[in-house]
Amino acid sequence: MIRFQRKKKRHTYILIGGILTVGGLIFVGTLYKGSLLSLDKLSWSEPQQVSQLFSTYKENSILKNKLATENQEEANAYKLDYENKVLKKILKAEDQVKTYNPVTATVIGRSTNNWNNELTIDKGKKQGLKIDMNVLGTNGVIGKVSKVFSSTSIVELISSNLRTNRMAVMLKDRKSVNGTLEGYDDKKGNLIIRKIPSEAEVNVGDKVQTSPISSIFQGKLALGKVIKVKPDEYGLTQLAVVKPSSNFNDISEVIVIKAKNNG
């Protein structure tokens, strides 16, 4: 009798447990209508689900690769178009200084620590380059050769604030006015021209060029345009802020021409 009662209790517990389990599944299914698979689908469709999962993964991989290829092709096309535009500008600038036997060079190095001071080009002694030769960008002078090696050279930029970079310039208005390039505002990207005679008439928009009296630079090479004029700190001369013709943050191709003191 006792054994029968124990067996009956055990069956009762199993029955109650089964009811609770089924009830729990029904409750969860009610909460997530349509989001969970029924028990028969879960047990019979797992292989199909795995197959579909791998198929979707494969399709996504193909789409990602296709997108990456299209993006790369678009980037290559943009790069080619940009290089063609730069080349056309360089060829045009080169034609304007052909009397100086210009040498076209490519920028191959530029240190972030020395960004405004210098860059490295892929031409050197083998191509006839010498120290102090003038270096031009597509829109005007950007610097001079400061060091020459066998097949490369270092160019000191006019955006450098080194004292050796000071140079005579000429401002064009109704008559020529001389000044001295003595600095570069690296925050705003402007050249600073000082020692302009206080009585000289200098206006916003006046062109600024290298001066014929310079011992290194050829005269009348474009430097930029005046965007601001004011008295200097002592009121004895004038100071001009000049927006440069060249973008010093975007130099990829340059032209090197013979400097005065190289004969």
CA neighbor of 106 nearest in space, from 159, 75, 151, 146: 151
pLDDT (0 to 100) of residue 67: 80
In terms of C-beta density within 10 A (0-12 exposed, 13-18 middle, 19 or more buried), how is residue 141 classed? buried
Report yes or no on whether pTM surpasses 0.75: no
Q: Which helix (H) or strand (E) holds 74?
A: helix 46-96
Q: Specify which residues 181 forms β-bridges with.
A: 167, 193
pLDDT level of residue 134 (50, 70, 90 thresholds): very high
> Out of 23-37, 101-115, 117-131, 207-221, which region has the weakest mean confidence (pLDDT)?
23-37
- CA–CA dist 110, 112 (Å, integer): 7
7 has a pLDDT exceeding 80: no
Phi, psi of 156 (to 5 degrees): -85, 120
pLDDT level of residue 163 (50, 70, 90 thresholds): confident
Average pLDDT over residues 132-137: 94
pLDDT level of residue 25 (50, 70, 90 thresholds): very low
Instruction: Give pLDDT tens digits for 107-128.
Output: 999 998 999 999 999 999 999 9
